[in-house]
Amino acid sequence: MTQRVACFTGRFQPFHNQHLEVLSALSHSFERIIVGVTNPDLSNLQAHSASAHRHTDGANPFSFEARVEIIENSISGIQKSDLSNVQIDIVPFDLTTPESWQVPSDTVFAVRIFSPWEASKLSLFTDQGFETLQLPAPDSKLSASDIRLSLIANDNNWESLVAAEAIDTIQTQWSLTTSAKVSA
C-alpha cells in the first residue's frame, strides 16, 4: 500500500495552535505529513501581489532553523497522542521554485483559505499537478501577526496562542532576533 502523504506549508512566524489543529486533522487521513516552511531563506524574500506583508522583514523575524525548533517543540506535546502514528518531516519550502520541492509526486497539499494569499497557494499547487485538500477555516483566524505584535509589546498574551512546549523557544529566539537587530 502506498503511504498517503500530505504537505502543509506556511511561514510559521511563529507556528501556533491553529497550525497544530491542521496537523491533528491531517493525522487522521495521512501517514506522513510534510511541514513545508516557506520563506526559508530570509535574505531572499519576494513580494507577491496576493500578500502585502509576507516578504517584509517585520513579518519574518525567525530564521528557518528557529522555526524548525519551534515546530518540533510545538508538536512534541501532541506527538504522544494525535500524531503518534504519523511521520512528520519539516523541510524548507521555497514557493517560488517548485523544482526544489522535496515532496513525492502524489502528495496532497492541504490549505486553509483565509485570504487571496492562501487561494493563490492553492492555485499554485494545482497548477503544478498536485492534488489539493481545502480544509475548513475556523470561525476566527489566529494570526501570527498578532503573536508578533504581542512579542513586540513585551506582554504575555501570545503564550496562550502557541503550544506550551514552544514558549521558551519562541521567547529565546525572539530575544536573539531583537538583540541582533539592535546591534546591527
pLDDT at 40: 85
* CATH number of the domain bearing residue 38: 3.40.50.620
Q: Worst-scoring range by mean pLDDT, 3-17, 53-67, 136-150?
A: 53-67
pLDDT at 1: 40
DSSP calls for 72-97? HHHHHTTTTTTTTT-EEEEEE--TT-
Number of domains in the chain: 1
What the block records as the C-alpha cell of 31 is 501517514
Q: What percent of the chain has pLDDT over 70?
A: 86
3 pLDDT band (50/70/90 cuts)? low
117 pLDDT band (50/70/90 cuts)? confident
| pLDDT at 77 > cutoff 90 | no
Mean pLDDT of the chain: 86
Global pTM value:
0.89
Taking the mean position of all CA atoms in its chain, how far away is CA 131?
A: 19
| pLDDT at 151 > cutoff 80 | yes
Domain span including residue 43: 5-183
179: buried, middle or exposed (CB in 10 Å: 19+, 13-18, 0-12)?
exposed
What is the CA angle 95-119-166, rounded to 5?
A: 65
